[in-house]
């Protein structure tokens, strides 16, 4: 019932879980009305109901296949690059970019875990952060918000640095934390 085993969050997957649970529950109901015991059907319905609850609660951005572990991404150019990690801890370090190179859009995605974005003090970067379930935080003096209280469907757009941003980072985490840091060169 899972689409290529990649996630539990698509609408089709959720409807599949609901349909399977409904069919087994209907079978147990019919068996009961006919005076028969439906122990096996009841047990299967409980397992399917649990699967349905998990699929319904799971954020849609959590991929279960692909690279796992720790990743450190240090782009030296911005050619609309994309970085992906299924689960683990990722660090997107922009220190290798000069202000002249920092033009365009970088996309980074972590299914489950932490994404840390490090912005050097001589760059102005717009970070569009989105977390399916979790928290978005930033930490440098003068930041208007330091820690998001967390929850479901969190989004933040923040400009790191002064001036007009020439680089945009689209950051997504399905389940976990996005942390935005400022550093000196």
Any residues with CB less than 8 A from the CB of 92 and at least 6 apart, and which? 73, 75, 83, 106, 108, 115, 116, 117, 118, 169, 171
Residue 107 forms beta bridges with which residues? 82, 170
**CA 142 – CA 130 distance, rounded (Å):** 22
DSSP letters, 107-125, are EEEEEEEEEEEEEETT--E
**pLDDT of residue 143 exceeding 70:** no
* pLDDT of res. 55: 64
Task: Supply the mean pLDDT for the chain.
Answer: 79
Q: Is the pLDDT of residue 6 over 90?
A: no
β-bridge partners, 181: 118, 139
Tokens in use for 31?
A: 């068996």
pLDDT tens figures, 101-130: 888 899 999 988 999 999 998 899 999 999
Residue for token pair 């985490």: 173
Average pLDDT over residues 178-185: 87
Task: For CA atoms 140, 141, 144, 145, give the dihedral sign.
Answer: positive
Q: Considering the chain, what percentage of its residues have pLDDT values greater than 70?
A: 77
Q: Are 90 and 71 in contact (CB under 8 A)?
A: yes
């Amino acid at each position: 019932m899972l689409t290529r085993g990649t996630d539990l969050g698509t609408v089709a997957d959720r409807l599949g879980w609901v349909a399977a649970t409904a069919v087994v529950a209907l079978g147990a109901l019919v068996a009961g009305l006919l005076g028969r015991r439906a122990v096996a059907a009841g047990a299967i319905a409980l397992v399917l109901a649990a699967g349905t609850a998990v699929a319904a609660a799971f954020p849609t951005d959590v991929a279960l296949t692909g690279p796992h572990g720790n990743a450190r991404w240090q782009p030296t150019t911005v050619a609309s690059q994309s970085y992906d990690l299924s689960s683990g801890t990722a660090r997107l370090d922009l220190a290798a970019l000069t202000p002249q190179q920092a033009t365009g859009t970088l996309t980074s995605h972590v299914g489950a875990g932490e994404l840390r974005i490090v912005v050097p003090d001589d760059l102005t970067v717009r970070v569009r952060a989105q977390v399916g379930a979790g928290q978005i935080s930033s930490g440098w003096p003068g930041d208007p918000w330091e820690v998001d209280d967390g929850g479901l469907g969190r989004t933040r757009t923040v400009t790191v640095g002064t001036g007009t941003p020439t680089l945009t980072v689209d950051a997504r985490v399905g389940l976990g934390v996005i942390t935005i840091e400022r550093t000196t060169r």
